[in-house]
Amino acid sequence: MKKQIFYILFLIGFIGFTQENPVSLAIDTANIKIGEHIQYKISVTKKGMVIFPKLQLDRLGKVEVVESLPVDTLKDTYEKKYVLTSFDSGRYTIPKQQVLINNKAFFTDSLLVSVATVKVDTLKQQMFPIKAIKSEPKTFDDYKPMLWWIILILVLIATALYFIFRKKEKIEVPIVVVAPIQEALQRLKELDEKQLLQQNKIKIYYTELTDIVRTYIEKDIYIPALESTTNELIETINDFNESSKLGISKETIQQLKEVLQSADMVKFAKSKPIVDEIKVHRTLAERILQNLKPVKETRNEVE
Protein backbone atom coordinates (compact mmCIF):
# COMPACT_ATOMS: atom_id res chain seq x y z
CA MET A 1 0.00 0.00 0.00
CA LYS A 2 2.85 2.43 0.86
CA LYS A 3 4.61 1.61 -2.41
CA GLN A 4 1.48 2.39 -4.40
CA ILE A 5 1.06 5.75 -2.68
CA PHE A 6 4.75 6.53 -3.40
CA TYR A 7 4.40 5.75 -7.10
CA ILE A 8 1.20 7.81 -7.35
CA LEU A 9 2.88 10.83 -5.72
CA PHE A 10 5.96 10.42 -7.96
CA LEU A 11 3.77 10.26 -11.07
CA ILE A 12 1.81 13.37 -10.04
CA GLY A 13 5.08 15.26 -9.38
CA PHE A 14 6.51 14.17 -12.71
CA ILE A 15 3.38 15.27 -14.58
CA GLY A 16 3.44 18.61 -12.73
CA PHE A 17 7.10 19.13 -13.65
CA THR A 18 6.50 18.42 -17.31
CA GLN A 19 3.57 20.81 -17.31
CA GLU A 20 5.67 23.54 -15.66
CA ASN A 21 8.36 23.39 -18.39
CA PRO A 22 6.84 24.71 -21.67
CA VAL A 23 10.13 24.25 -23.56
CA SER A 24 10.75 21.11 -25.60
CA LEU A 25 13.55 19.97 -27.90
CA ALA A 26 13.42 17.88 -31.07
CA ILE A 27 16.00 16.77 -33.65
CA ASP A 28 15.65 14.81 -36.87
CA THR A 29 18.71 12.63 -36.14
CA ALA A 30 21.48 12.23 -33.58
CA ASN A 31 23.79 10.26 -35.87
CA ILE A 32 25.34 11.92 -38.90
CA LYS A 33 28.37 11.61 -41.13
CA ILE A 34 30.94 14.36 -41.45
CA GLY A 35 29.40 17.39 -43.16
CA GLU A 36 25.77 16.24 -42.89
CA HIS A 37 23.11 18.43 -41.26
CA ILE A 38 21.04 18.09 -38.08
CA GLN A 39 17.68 19.84 -37.76
CA TYR A 40 17.67 21.19 -34.19
CA LYS A 41 14.26 22.58 -33.09
CA ILE A 42 13.20 24.32 -29.86
CA SER A 43 9.43 24.63 -29.23
CA VAL A 44 7.69 26.87 -26.66
CA THR A 45 4.04 26.16 -25.79
CA LYS A 46 3.49 29.11 -23.49
CA LYS A 47 2.23 32.49 -24.57
CA GLY A 48 4.18 35.62 -23.78
CA MET A 49 7.44 37.27 -24.71
CA VAL A 50 9.89 34.55 -25.81
CA ILE A 51 13.62 35.03 -26.35
CA PHE A 52 15.32 32.08 -28.00
CA PRO A 53 18.99 31.40 -27.28
CA LYS A 54 22.10 31.88 -29.29
CA LEU A 55 23.16 28.26 -29.19
CA GLN A 56 25.95 27.27 -26.79
CA LEU A 57 27.39 24.16 -28.47
CA ASP A 58 29.92 21.56 -27.36
CA ARG A 59 32.96 22.70 -25.40
CA LEU A 60 35.40 21.50 -28.06
CA GLY A 61 33.73 23.57 -30.76
CA LYS A 62 33.33 20.60 -33.06
CA VAL A 63 29.63 21.21 -33.74
CA GLU A 64 28.81 24.33 -35.76
CA VAL A 65 25.64 26.32 -36.54
CA VAL A 66 25.11 26.39 -40.30
CA GLU A 67 21.93 28.48 -40.24
CA SER A 68 19.55 30.03 -37.70
CA LEU A 69 16.04 30.11 -39.19
CA PRO A 70 13.33 32.66 -38.31
CA VAL A 71 10.83 31.85 -35.55
CA ASP A 72 7.65 30.09 -36.72
CA THR A 73 4.43 31.03 -34.92
CA LEU A 74 1.88 28.22 -34.82
CA LYS A 75 -1.42 28.12 -32.94
CA ASP A 76 -0.10 28.22 -29.35
CA THR A 77 3.49 27.34 -30.11
CA TYR A 78 6.66 29.18 -31.09
CA GLU A 79 9.26 27.15 -32.96
CA LYS A 80 12.87 28.07 -33.59
CA LYS A 81 14.95 25.87 -35.91
CA TYR A 82 18.71 25.65 -36.25
CA VAL A 83 20.78 23.74 -38.79
CA LEU A 84 23.89 22.11 -37.25
CA THR A 85 26.83 20.19 -38.68
CA SER A 86 30.26 18.87 -37.75
CA PHE A 87 33.43 18.13 -39.71
CA ASP A 88 35.17 16.06 -37.02
CA SER A 89 34.17 12.50 -36.16
CA GLY A 90 33.30 11.70 -32.54
CA ARG A 91 30.57 11.95 -29.95
CA TYR A 92 29.70 15.45 -28.76
CA THR A 93 27.29 16.73 -26.13
CA ILE A 94 25.20 19.80 -26.90
CA PRO A 95 24.43 21.30 -23.49
CA LYS A 96 21.11 22.59 -22.20
CA GLN A 97 19.93 25.82 -23.86
CA GLN A 98 18.28 28.67 -21.94
CA VAL A 99 15.00 30.13 -23.22
CA LEU A 100 13.52 33.26 -21.64
CA ILE A 101 9.71 33.40 -21.37
CA ASN A 102 8.40 36.63 -19.86
CA ASN A 103 11.95 37.17 -18.45
CA LYS A 104 11.83 33.75 -16.75
CA ALA A 105 14.48 31.18 -17.64
CA PHE A 106 13.60 27.67 -18.87
CA PHE A 107 16.02 25.04 -20.17
CA THR A 108 16.01 22.37 -22.87
CA ASP A 109 17.48 18.91 -22.42
CA SER A 110 21.08 18.23 -23.33
CA LEU A 111 21.75 16.22 -26.47
CA LEU A 112 24.38 13.65 -27.50
CA VAL A 113 25.40 13.72 -31.18
CA SER A 114 27.50 11.10 -32.96
CA VAL A 115 29.53 12.08 -36.04
CA ALA A 116 30.95 9.25 -38.18
CA THR A 117 33.65 9.39 -40.83
CA VAL A 118 32.94 8.75 -44.49
CA LYS A 119 34.64 5.60 -45.71
CA VAL A 120 36.44 5.88 -49.03
CA ASP A 121 37.03 2.75 -51.10
CA THR A 122 40.45 3.38 -52.60
CA LEU A 123 40.20 0.24 -54.72
CA LYS A 124 37.12 1.48 -56.61
CA GLN A 125 38.14 5.15 -56.57
CA GLN A 126 39.67 6.16 -59.91
CA MET A 127 43.14 7.65 -59.56
CA PHE A 128 44.37 10.52 -61.72
CA PRO A 129 47.96 11.61 -62.45
CA ILE A 130 49.31 14.71 -60.73
CA LYS A 131 48.78 17.78 -62.89
CA ALA A 132 51.52 20.27 -63.54
CA ILE A 133 51.41 23.63 -61.77
CA LYS A 134 49.72 26.30 -63.88
CA SER A 135 50.77 29.90 -63.65
CA GLU A 136 48.10 32.41 -62.68
CA PRO A 137 46.96 34.94 -65.30
CA LYS A 138 48.49 38.39 -65.12
CA THR A 139 46.44 41.14 -63.45
CA PHE A 140 46.69 44.92 -63.38
CA ASP A 141 48.42 44.82 -59.98
CA ASP A 142 51.32 42.89 -61.56
CA TYR A 143 52.06 45.87 -63.84
CA LYS A 144 51.72 48.64 -61.22
CA PRO A 145 55.48 49.02 -60.49
CA MET A 146 56.20 49.21 -64.22
CA LEU A 147 53.39 51.77 -64.69
CA TRP A 148 54.96 54.21 -62.21
CA TRP A 149 58.29 54.00 -64.05
CA ILE A 150 56.54 54.69 -67.38
CA ILE A 151 54.79 57.76 -65.93
CA LEU A 152 58.07 59.07 -64.50
CA ILE A 153 59.85 58.64 -67.87
CA LEU A 154 57.02 60.43 -69.71
CA VAL A 155 57.17 63.35 -67.24
CA LEU A 156 60.91 63.67 -67.74
CA ILE A 157 60.52 63.61 -71.55
CA ALA A 158 57.75 66.22 -71.43
CA THR A 159 59.87 68.48 -69.19
CA ALA A 160 62.86 68.19 -71.53
CA LEU A 161 60.74 68.99 -74.60
CA TYR A 162 59.27 72.00 -72.81
CA PHE A 163 62.69 73.54 -72.18
CA ILE A 164 63.92 72.66 -75.67
CA PHE A 165 61.04 74.19 -77.61
CA ARG A 166 60.22 77.01 -75.21
CA LYS A 167 60.50 80.41 -76.86
CA LYS A 168 63.03 82.55 -75.07
CA GLU A 169 61.31 85.76 -76.03
CA LYS A 170 57.60 86.19 -76.25
CA ILE A 171 56.35 87.99 -79.33
CA GLU A 172 54.39 91.01 -78.22
CA VAL A 173 51.23 91.59 -80.20
CA PRO A 174 51.04 95.26 -81.09
CA ILE A 175 47.99 97.06 -79.79
CA VAL A 176 46.35 99.07 -82.51
CA VAL A 177 44.99 102.36 -81.15
CA VAL A 178 42.23 103.88 -83.23
CA ALA A 179 41.50 107.57 -82.78
CA PRO A 180 37.96 108.27 -81.52
CA ILE A 181 37.11 110.35 -84.63
CA GLN A 182 38.22 107.51 -86.95
CA GLU A 183 36.21 105.00 -84.94
CA ALA A 184 33.10 107.23 -85.10
CA LEU A 185 33.39 107.78 -88.89
CA GLN A 186 33.89 104.04 -89.42
CA ARG A 187 30.74 103.32 -87.41
CA LEU A 188 28.80 105.82 -89.55
CA LYS A 189 29.96 103.98 -92.65
CA GLU A 190 28.87 100.64 -91.17
CA LEU A 191 25.49 102.16 -90.27
CA ASP A 192 24.95 103.17 -93.91
CA GLU A 193 25.80 99.63 -95.03
CA LYS A 194 23.10 98.12 -92.80
CA GLN A 195 20.40 99.81 -94.97
CA LEU A 196 18.06 100.31 -92.02
CA LEU A 197 16.17 103.08 -93.81
CA GLN A 198 15.35 100.78 -96.72
CA GLN A 199 13.96 98.30 -94.18
CA ASN A 200 11.87 101.04 -92.54
CA LYS A 201 13.70 100.57 -89.21
CA ILE A 202 13.74 104.27 -88.39
CA LYS A 203 13.86 103.92 -84.61
CA ILE A 204 16.85 101.57 -84.70
CA TYR A 205 18.61 103.89 -87.18
CA TYR A 206 18.29 106.95 -84.93
CA THR A 207 19.31 104.95 -81.84
CA GLU A 208 22.58 103.87 -83.47
CA LEU A 209 23.19 107.31 -85.01
CA THR A 210 22.95 109.12 -81.67
CA ASP A 211 24.96 106.37 -79.93
CA ILE A 212 27.85 107.02 -82.35
CA VAL A 213 27.82 110.74 -81.60
CA ARG A 214 27.44 110.32 -77.82
CA THR A 215 30.23 107.71 -77.66
CA TYR A 216 32.61 110.05 -79.51
CA ILE A 217 31.81 112.88 -77.08
CA GLU A 218 32.64 110.68 -74.09
CA LYS A 219 35.90 109.35 -75.57
CA ASP A 220 37.38 112.53 -77.04
CA ILE A 221 35.83 115.37 -75.04
CA TYR A 222 35.42 113.45 -71.76
CA ILE A 223 31.87 114.59 -71.15
CA PRO A 224 29.40 111.92 -69.85
CA ALA A 225 27.03 111.66 -72.81
CA LEU A 226 25.66 108.10 -72.93
CA GLU A 227 23.73 108.36 -69.66
CA SER A 228 22.64 112.01 -70.03
CA THR A 229 19.42 113.31 -71.49
CA THR A 230 19.56 115.63 -74.48
CA ASN A 231 19.00 118.76 -72.36
CA GLU A 232 21.57 117.67 -69.75
CA LEU A 233 24.17 116.96 -72.42
CA ILE A 234 23.69 120.28 -74.25
CA GLU A 235 23.81 122.16 -70.95
CA THR A 236 27.02 120.38 -69.91
CA ILE A 237 28.70 121.08 -73.27
CA ASN A 238 27.79 124.79 -72.98
CA ASP A 239 29.23 124.92 -69.45
CA PHE A 240 32.46 123.21 -70.50
CA ASN A 241 32.67 125.40 -73.61
CA GLU A 242 32.53 128.54 -71.51
CA SER A 243 34.74 127.46 -68.60
CA SER A 244 37.40 125.46 -70.46
CA LYS A 245 37.39 127.24 -73.82
CA LEU A 246 36.61 124.10 -75.85
CA GLY A 247 36.17 126.21 -78.91
CA ILE A 248 32.99 124.48 -80.10
CA SER A 249 30.89 126.84 -82.20
CA LYS A 250 27.31 127.65 -81.23
CA GLU A 251 26.22 126.44 -84.65
CA THR A 252 27.69 122.96 -84.00
CA ILE A 253 26.04 122.80 -80.58
CA GLN A 254 22.70 123.80 -82.15
CA GLN A 255 23.08 121.12 -84.86
CA LEU A 256 23.86 118.52 -82.17
CA LYS A 257 20.75 119.57 -80.25
CA GLU A 258 18.61 119.27 -83.38
CA VAL A 259 19.84 115.75 -84.19
CA LEU A 260 19.42 114.51 -80.60
CA GLN A 261 15.94 116.01 -80.20
CA SER A 262 14.81 114.52 -83.53
CA ALA A 263 16.06 111.13 -82.36
CA ASP A 264 14.17 111.53 -79.07
CA MET A 265 10.97 112.28 -81.00
CA VAL A 266 11.40 109.12 -83.04
CA LYS A 267 12.25 106.91 -80.04
CA PHE A 268 9.76 108.22 -77.50
CA ALA A 269 7.04 110.07 -79.40
CA LYS A 270 6.94 107.62 -82.32
CA SER A 271 7.56 110.39 -84.84
CA LYS A 272 8.24 109.27 -88.45
CA PRO A 273 10.37 111.81 -90.33
CA ILE A 274 10.59 111.66 -94.12
CA VAL A 275 13.64 110.16 -95.87
CA ASP A 276 15.06 113.52 -96.91
CA GLU A 277 14.90 114.78 -93.32
CA ILE A 278 16.67 111.60 -92.08
CA LYS A 279 19.45 112.10 -94.64
CA VAL A 280 19.91 115.69 -93.45
CA HIS A 281 20.35 114.42 -89.86
CA ARG A 282 22.87 111.86 -91.10
CA THR A 283 24.89 114.61 -92.80
CA LEU A 284 24.65 116.84 -89.72
CA ALA A 285 25.91 113.99 -87.47
CA GLU A 286 29.07 113.60 -89.57
CA ARG A 287 29.60 117.39 -89.67
CA ILE A 288 29.19 117.55 -85.86
CA LEU A 289 31.85 114.89 -85.41
CA GLN A 290 34.25 116.85 -87.63
CA ASN A 291 33.60 120.18 -85.85
CA LEU A 292 33.74 119.01 -82.23
CA LYS A 293 37.15 120.04 -80.89
CA PRO A 294 39.10 117.45 -78.79
CA VAL A 295 40.13 118.34 -75.26
CA LYS A 296 43.84 117.63 -75.96
CA GLU A 297 43.98 120.26 -78.68
CA THR A 298 42.24 122.78 -76.41
CA ARG A 299 44.71 122.11 -73.61
CA ASN A 300 47.67 122.63 -75.94
CA GLU A 301 46.29 125.97 -77.02
CA VAL A 302 45.81 127.07 -73.41
CA GLU A 303 49.43 126.12 -72.57
Inter-helix orientation angle 250-268/275-291, to 10°: 140
Average pLDDT over residues 155-184: 79
Check residues 157 and 126 and name the one with the higher pLDDT. 157
Please choose, from the candidates 302, 300, 292, 301, the residue with its C-alpha nearest in 3D space to the C-alpha of residue 221. Answer: 292
Q: What are phi and psi of 43, to 5 degrees?
A: -115, 140
Least confident of 112-116, 124-128, 285-289, 290-294: 124-128
Buried b vs exposed e over 227-248: b needs ≥16 C-beta within 10 Å?
A: ebebeebbebbeebbeeeebeb
- pLDDT tier at 78 (50, 70, 90 boundaries)? confident
Provide the pLDDT for residue 222.
86
**192: pLDDT strictly greater than 80:** yes
**190: pLDDT strictly greater than 90:** yes
Average pLDDT over residues 230-234: 90
Question: Facing residues of 25 across strands?
Answer: 42
Provide the pLDDT for residue 297.
46
Domains of the chain, with CATH numbers? 19-116 (2.60.40.10), 180-302 (1.20.120)
The mean pLDDT value of the chain amounts to: 81
Provide the pLDDT for residue 240.
83
Least confident of 125-134, 225-234, 276-285: 125-134
Check residues 165 and 115 and name the one with the higher pLDDT. 115
Distance, CA of 239 to CA of 229 (rounded, Å):
15
Average pLDDT over residues 95-122: 84
Provide the pLDDT for residue 147.
80
Are the CB atoms for 216 and 181 separated by under 8 Å? yes
Provide the pLDDT for residue 204.
92
Q: How many CA atoms lie within 13 A of 210 on its CB side?
A: 26
Average pLDDT over residues 244-268: 86
**299: pLDDT strictly greater than 50:** no
Please choose, from the candidates 165, 157, 151, 51, the residue with its C-alpha nearest in 3D space to the C-alpha of residue 101. Answer: 51
Provide the pLDDT for residue 24.
87
**111: pLDDT strictly greater than 90:** no
**5: pLDDT strictly greater than 50:** no
Provide the pLDDT for residue 301.
42
Q: What is the pLDDT of residues 12-22, one digit of tens each?
A: 444 444 457 88
In 10 A of CB 126, how many CB atoms? Answer: 4
**9: pLDDT strictly greater than 70:** no
Q: With pLDDT > 70 as the criterion, what percentage of the chain qualifies?
A: 82
User: Which of helix, strand or coil describes residue 270?
Assistant: coil
- pLDDT tier at 300 (50, 70, 90 boundaries)? very low
User: Which of helix, strand or coil describes residue 120?
Assistant: coil
**246: pLDDT strictly greater than 90:** no
State which H helix or E strand residue 80 sits in: strand 78-86
